[in-house]
Chains A and B, each alone.
Chain A
Amino acid sequence: MSSTGQPPPEPFRVSQLLYDTRYRSYTIQIFALAVIMLAFAWAIDNAVRNLEALGKDIDFGFIFETSAYDINQHLLDYDSTSTHGRAALVGIINTILVAVMGCITATVIGVLAGVLRLSRNWVVARLMTVYIETVRNIPVLIWILFTVAIVNEVLPGVRSFRGEDAMSGLLFDSVFITNRGFYIPAPVFEAGSSVIGIVLLLSVGAAWYFGRWARARQAATGQILPVFWVRLAILAVPVLLAFFAMGSPVSLEVPALKGFNFKGGIYMRDSLIGLWLALSVYTGAFIAEIVRAGILAISKGQTEAAYALGLRPGRTMSLVVLPQALRVIVPPLISQFLNLTKNSSLAIAVGYMDATGTLGGITLNQTGREMECILLLMAFYLVASLTISGAMNAYNRSVRLKER
């Protein structure tokens, strides 16, 4: 400001807002902001006025009213005397369930397919190319309908397990794969099972500590221990000992055919299985491409250097290439997770009762509160997406290149 040899600052003139590059950007930004706000104000005003013209007000009171409908898959206590709010919550939990399951399997499928597509084995690499190109070029809704139709039409009906020449279930007649879904045994925890839980927790801690110790030892002496097998032993042996010491307090409840359906055990509905598989396979194809891009982004010199040091291909991939590739992979992976979560709203096509099916479907329809339901639904998906991207961004910060 007061540096010598420069002319004193000129007084501000209004024309500078247009001609001076220092101020012009502010002018443009303020103008743009005003236009956007006006557009929003107009849209909101339009909605309010038109609703008024229809004689409809905005009222969220229906959330506390009785829903009067049933939901097949509910992880919370729910029946037709519960409120619309609880129905929405049940739907939200169903959405989260399928999204979490989908994200995990999609990542596994995607990483495998992405790495295998780069395989030197011609057949494996081409097979993966075929998988990726077929799956990601067909809309996900078609895949969802397709998988559920396959489950419904190809798998045996519940009635095939009944009568004279009845089919028997898999794994000693305990798992039943039918066209209504999978019936699998459920664990039943009796008194004393908490001891096993505590032992398991301690084992996990010990396994984690062993891994750290082995790494430190490797860094100090260069010797590599069979970490995986030792860890497996640390996890399994004490738990098994505790299980028998406590007199087998955990038993399995096997599904049994009673009346129309199997009763007991865990019931995974056809809609859940179809939706989950379709979303995982579809998103997995995109993740595979992201993983492949991430691996190819690491210069070949890195691999060659690792080979020169005597590392085997598997270790080269897991110790040298993948950690560096993660920096490239994670950011686009976030948007794939978001896509999967949002695509799960297609669930209604196969009758899976997710948030769109309950809040944005039956509740909307029975109460006639379209505006309110859709607003709530948008808010939910927004919060869910922001949470996912927040968590993934935190992970991204932990794997990105640390510049010192």
Chain B
Amino acid sequence: MRLKTTLVAAAAAAAFSVGAHGATLDDVKAKGFIQCGVSTGLAGFAFTDSDGNWDGFDVVFCRATAAAVFGDPNAIKFTPTTGKTRFTALASGEIDVLYRNTTWTLSRDVDLKFSFLGVNYYDGQGFMIRKDMGVSSASELDGATVCIQTGTTTELNLADFFRANNMSYEPVPIETNAEAQQKYLANACDVYTTDASGLAATRATFENPADHIILPEIISKEPLGPLVRHGDNAWGDIVRWVLNALIIAEEKGITAANVDSMASADTKDPEIKRLLGVEGNYGEMLGLSSDWAVHAIKTGGNYGEIFEKHIGENTAIGLARGLNQLWTKGGILYAPPFR
């Protein structure tokens, strides 16, 4: 009898788990937390600390989204996904949003039927190699053994790059960043390639980071950002505008420390007023409370604060803002107007 009940339950779950996608926002609100897909572990971007709590650049954006919806940055469950499992996890409804260094491409947008909601890190694919190999440019890599994370755009970029430059290489496909690191350090491959930010993050965890260099060539555009399923517009709007709110907050100088005083004090700037819910009913339009952006900003600060804390130049990862600087300061980070 018990077997029968289990079977019926499994059948019911199979039948309904996919069907209920129409309104992820309702689902999320009903269950009281967000399920966020992140990387299985990439220093600076998504990792678990010594207490088992998730932290990192991508993680904070997830938490800010949870804070915007529930007022609580901990109303969230993290699902670690590999390059291979991430899209299946999202398509099947196992996760509500994927915040995992995922490159925005046409085929993922159109053919895999996901909606990309913006870019939280502008990246490009680079190569890391031991300094004592004496290689200073990617064009000298003919014949090299290259470790790549399988199931990513890097695989395709790599094939294109070597073909375009008429060079040969030996690809070693690897499932996760940790395995790739082990192979690279054991000298089982000469070069490790992935997004330049990922290389910097990986290098930071090495015993002697200075023994390895990241070659100057960036061989691709990798706009990394959050994505949800197609047709999830109400839910997608929330994820998109949380990201935009954090960028606008940096533009306007709103930080985790001053957000409360900004919201209560007599700010002159009408856009700050609109953002923090003092004026207008923008929260209601999104289906959220009016102070959603206050909660989101309080989680980890504005975009700049999150960047500096987790991957900025003063961290072990040591990434410069570069392209990810605000448009007013020479970068291309640009959020649409909040009105």
Contacts and interface: CB of A to CB of B under 8 A. Distances in A.
Interface string A131-168: 00000000000000000010011000111000000000
A54 B88 CA distance: 12
Contact of A159 (B87, B155, B187, B230): B187
Contacts of A260: 141, 143-145, 190
Contacts of B188: 152, 157, 179-180, 270
A252 B112 CA distance: 50
Interface in B138-176: 141-145, 150-151, 155-156, 158-160, 162-163, 169-175
A80 B163 contact: yes
Given A50-B19, A69-B155, A70-B159, A261 B183 contact: no
A42 B15 CA distance: 10
A370 B19 CA distance: 18
A56 interface: yes
Interface range for A: 35 or more
A43 to B, nearest CB: 8
Contacts, number: 112
A136 to B, nearest CB: 26
Contacts of B170: 72, 261
Nearest to B151: A365
A54 B91 contact: yes
Nearest to A49: B19
B144 A368 contact: no
A349 interface: yes
Contacts of B182: 149, 152
Contact of A361 (B87, B107, B112, B151): B151
* Majority-rule SS of B interface residues: mixed
Interface in A349-370: 349, 351, 353, 357, 361-362, 364-368, 370
B143 A348 contact: no
B280 to A, nearest CB: 35
Nearest to B111: A368
A71 interface: yes
Contacts of A71: 171
B100 to A, nearest CB: 14
A56 B219 CA distance: 32
A362 B18 contact: no
A253 interface: no
Nearest to B18: A50
Contact of B186 (A80, A179, A361, A368): A179
Contacts of B160: 68, 80
Contact of A72 (B151, B171, B190, B230): B171
B211 to A, nearest CB: 14
Contacts of A365: 83-84, 87, 150-151
B290 to A, nearest CB: 34
Contact of A362 (B155, B174, B189): B155
Contacts of A370: 88, 91
Interface of B: 11, 14-15, 18-19, 21, 83-84, 87-88, 91, 107-108, 111-113, 141-145, 150-151, 155-156, 158-160, 162-163, 169-175, 182-183, 186-190, 229-231
> Which 5 residue pairs spanning A and B have beta carbons closest together?
A80-B159, A157-B187, A365-B151, A368-B112, A50-B18
